[in-house]
């Protein structure tokens, strides 16, 4: 009968245990010196070797020919414990034997001396499942058991154990097994079995197992059932992964603020029966890897991926700022929480992708920090001109201040009239207004929408603003302090004038309407509100 790999290759000695050198060394030393405790507690995540070490310990304390702390696996005691003919080693599943009556039966049994072996060893697996009454019934026996009894408790949730139990045991914490150790074990097994595993495939299996050797060998079993030559493609198919190409495609769509493309990728993954929670988790891990690359000089030790994929990630990380990555991770983690509580995982994922592509839709502090970081990076690198696609002629802040002549001092700041050709046809869509009176510019929202495609920074700072027309001047009413900085840089004033002409068909000069002393609108732009509140607290935010 076929035996699955994780059972067939279960460690038989402490030397066979991978990834727990400190624990196995301590246990072997206790066995060599005869300092054997009466109660052990093995804790750690699944598949890290707790039960295997408990069984090895049970053999080692009863072995007739101990080999440097390891059981010989050849004496009659070792063979009898392995095949189950010696009943002095008892393994109890606390999940199904968690009542007071079960523990009372155990207390009666411990009084009997071993029939064949030297010690009676009780291995209680998942001990955290015992009831409160069962724990209380076990306390006295666990503290002062007979000399021929050893208890080995194993659990994945040590925080659920009472302090009275913890204080009576010698505790060993099993850590997650390193991916490199898991990959080495997989290569070792493949060398003794009738199949081959590539290095990249072994590393991918190790990464997917989350530090658990049993999970890794179970996945390896699935891969071998598909092909005797296990490659990355075989592992991807067996694990039901979407591959990693879609992560880079999603990242490019997020960087380009292309929500349509990102939603299309999510739709394709959903149509391919991909689990949206798994997709969200992998995308979060992808951004975590980019964060590590941005933060650590040598990230190879912290990222488990093939070298070629790490190089791709390094190239992708160059396009991100650290605040943006933190915002992306936070948004995706919130989406994971909503997936567990909501009715549709796809909707939660689509909402998260929209927030990533359009940070102005999110009013959280993380989103505002991302927008500030993007503006700072654009100004520092001089890319605002490229982003806004200005005309070749540009104006500096000094030239603008020297030529600015307000028509009505104390009422508005008027920028000079842009250099626009007068021979272009004019569309009389907006009636001329009196030079002294102001009328509301009803088409201002259309102008802002035009800026969404021609100049993203101006589009961001003009959210929630209004405008008025006085003669041939458009007075912009906004409380966003970044507007005055952006409109004077790299020809942005001309870009704004062109957007107004696209909507109205007329040439207008641009001014900033003087704000009244009334309380600002509560529904203004959240980025401006954030800057204003920071200044009230004494924090001066400047774009350098």
Q: What is the pLDDT of residue 373?
A: 66
N-to-C CA span, the chain: 71
Q: What is the pLDDT of residue 419?
A: 47
Helix axes 245-255, 345-357, angle to 10 degrees: 50
- Asked if pLDDT for residue 478 goes beyond 60, the answer is yes
| Cα 328 to Cα 77: distance, rounded to the nearest angstrom | 58
| Cα 439 to Cα 407: distance, rounded to the nearest angstrom | 17
Q: What does DSSP assign to residue 198?
A: -
Q: What is the pLDDT of residue 302?
A: 79
Q: What is the pLDDT of residue 128?
A: 92
Over residues 288-309, mean pLDDT:
83
| Cα 245 to Cα 263: distance, rounded to the nearest angstrom | 16
pLDDT bin (cut points 50, 70, 90) of residue 365 is low
Listed in order, strand segments (DSSP E) in 212-302 are 229-230
- Asked if pLDDT for residue 444 goes beyond 50, the answer is yes
Q: What is the pLDDT of residue 261?
A: 93
Which of 378 and 262 is assigned the larger pLDDT?
Answer: 262
| Cα 351 to Cα 331: distance, rounded to the nearest angstrom | 10
Share of the chain above pLDDT 90, in %: 35
Over residues 442-462, mean pLDDT:
83
| Cα 226 to Cα 425: distance, rounded to the nearest angstrom | 70
Q: Up-side HSE of residue 51: CA atoms within 13 Å toward CB? A: 19
Superfamily of domain 5-174: P-loop containing nucleotide triphosphate hydrolases (3.40.50.300)
Over residues 35-48, mean pLDDT:
93
Highest mean pLDDT among 351-355, 412-416, 424-428, 448-452: 351-355
Strand 509-513 and strand 412-414: the pairing is antiparallel
Of 349, 332, 331, nearest in space to 276 by CA: 349
DSSP code string of 414-457:
EPPPP---TTS-----S----SS--EE-TTHHHHHHHHHHH-HH
Span 179-239 CATH architecture = Orthogonal Bundle (1.10)
pLDDT bin (cut points 50, 70, 90) of residue 290 is very high
- Residue written as token pair 């909503």: 338
Q: What is the pLDDT of residue 514?
A: 75
297 token code pair: 């000089």
Beta-carbon neighbour count of residue 403 at 10 Å?
A: 11
pLDDT bin (cut points 50, 70, 90) of residue 383 is low
Q: What is the pLDDT of residue 493?
A: 83
- Asked if pLDDT for residue 272 goes beyond 90, the answer is no
What Rg value do the Cα atoms of the chain yield, rounded? 34
- pLDDT tens-place string over residues 329-348: 999 999 998 888 777 889 99
Strand 170-174 and strand 439-440: the pairing is unpaired
Over residues 245-263, mean pLDDT:
91
pLDDT bin (cut points 50, 70, 90) of residue 486 is confident
Which of 156 and 415 is assigned the larger pLDDT?
Answer: 156
Q: What is the pLDDT of residue 63?
A: 93
- pLDDT tens-place string over residues 192-210: 998 999 998 898 888 888 8
- pLDDT tens-place string over residues 126-162: 999 999 999 999 998 898 889 999 999 999 999 999 9
Domain residue limits, the chain: 5-174, 179-239, 245-357, 398-536
- pLDDT tens-place string over residues 220-230: 999 999 888 99
Span 245-357 CATH architecture = Up-down Bundle (1.20)
- Asked if pLDDT for residue 362 goes beyond 80, the answer is no
- Do residues 130 and 98 touch, judged by C-beta distance below 8 A? yes
Q: What is the pLDDT of residue 368?
A: 66
- Asked if pLDDT for residue 490 goes beyond 70, the answer is no
Strand 120-125 and strand 39-44: the pairing is unpaired
């Amino acid at each position: 009968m076929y035996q699955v790999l994780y059972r067939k290759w279960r460690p038989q000695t402490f030397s066979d245990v991978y990834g727990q050198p400190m624990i196995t060394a301590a246990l072997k030393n206790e066995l060599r010196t005869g300092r054997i405790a009466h109660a052990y507690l093995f804790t750690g995540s699944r598949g890290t070797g707790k039960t295997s070490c408990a069984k090895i310990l049970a053999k080692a304390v009863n072995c007739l020919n101990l080999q440097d702390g390891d059981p010989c696996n050849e004496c009659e005691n070792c063979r009898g414990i392995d095949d189950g003919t010696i009943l002095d080693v008892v393994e109890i599943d606390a999940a199904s034997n968690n009542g007071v009556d079960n523990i009372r039966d155990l207390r009666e049994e411990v009084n009997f001396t071993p029939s064949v072996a030297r010690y009676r060893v009780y291995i209680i697996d998942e001990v955290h499942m015992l009831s409160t009454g069962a724990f209380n019934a076990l306390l006295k026996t666990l503290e002062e058991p007979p000399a021929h009894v050893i208890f080995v408790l194993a659990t994945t949730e040590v925080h659920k154990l009472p302090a009275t139990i913890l204080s009576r045991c010698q505790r060993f914490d099993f850590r997650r097994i390193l991916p490199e150790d898991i990959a080495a074990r997989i290569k070792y097994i493949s060398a003794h079995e009738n199949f081959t595993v590539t290095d990249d495939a072994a590393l991918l299996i190790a990464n997917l197992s989350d530090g658990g050797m049993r999970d890794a060998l179970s996945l390896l079993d699935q891969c071998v059932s598909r092909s005797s030559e296990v490659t990355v493609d075989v592992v991807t198919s067996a694990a039901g992964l979407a591959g990693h190409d879609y992560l880079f495609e999603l990242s490019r769509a997020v960087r380009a603020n292309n929500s349509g493309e990102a939603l299309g990728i999510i739709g394709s993954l959903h149509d391919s029966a991909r689990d949206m929670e798994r997709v969200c988790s992998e995308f979060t891990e992808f951004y975590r890897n980019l964060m590590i690359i941005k933060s650590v000089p040598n990230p190879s030790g912290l990222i488990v991926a093939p070298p070629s994929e790490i190089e791709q990630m390094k190239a992708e990380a160059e396009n991100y700022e650290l605040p943006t990555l933190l915002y992306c991770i936070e948004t995706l983690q919130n989406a994971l929480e909503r997936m567990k509580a909501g009715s549709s995982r796809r909707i939660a994922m689509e909402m998260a992708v929209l927030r990533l592509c359009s940070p102005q839709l999110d009013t959280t502090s993380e989103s505002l920090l991302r927008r500030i970081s993007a503006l700072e990076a654009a100004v520092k690198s001089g890319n605002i001109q490229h982003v806004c696609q200005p005309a070749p002629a540009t104006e500096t802040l000094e030239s603008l201040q020297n030529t600015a002549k307000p028509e009505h001092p104390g009422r508005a700041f008027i920028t000079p009239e842009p250099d626009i050709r007068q021979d272009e046809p004019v569309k009389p869509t907006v009636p001329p207004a009196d030079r002294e009176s102001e009328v509301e510019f009803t088409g201002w929202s259309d102008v802002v929408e035009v800026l969404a495609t021609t100049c993203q920074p101006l589009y961001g700072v003009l959210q929630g603003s209004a405008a008025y027309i006085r003669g041939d001047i458009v007075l912009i009413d906004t409380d966003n302090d970044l507007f005055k900085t952006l409109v004077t840089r790299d020809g942005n004033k001309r870009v704004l004038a062109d957007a107004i002409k696209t909507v109205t068909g007329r040439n207008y000069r641009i001014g900033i309407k003087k704000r009244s002393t009334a309380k600002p609108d509560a529904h203004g732009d959240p980025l401006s509100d954030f800057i204003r509140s920071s200044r009230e607290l004494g924090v001066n935010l400047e774009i350098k």
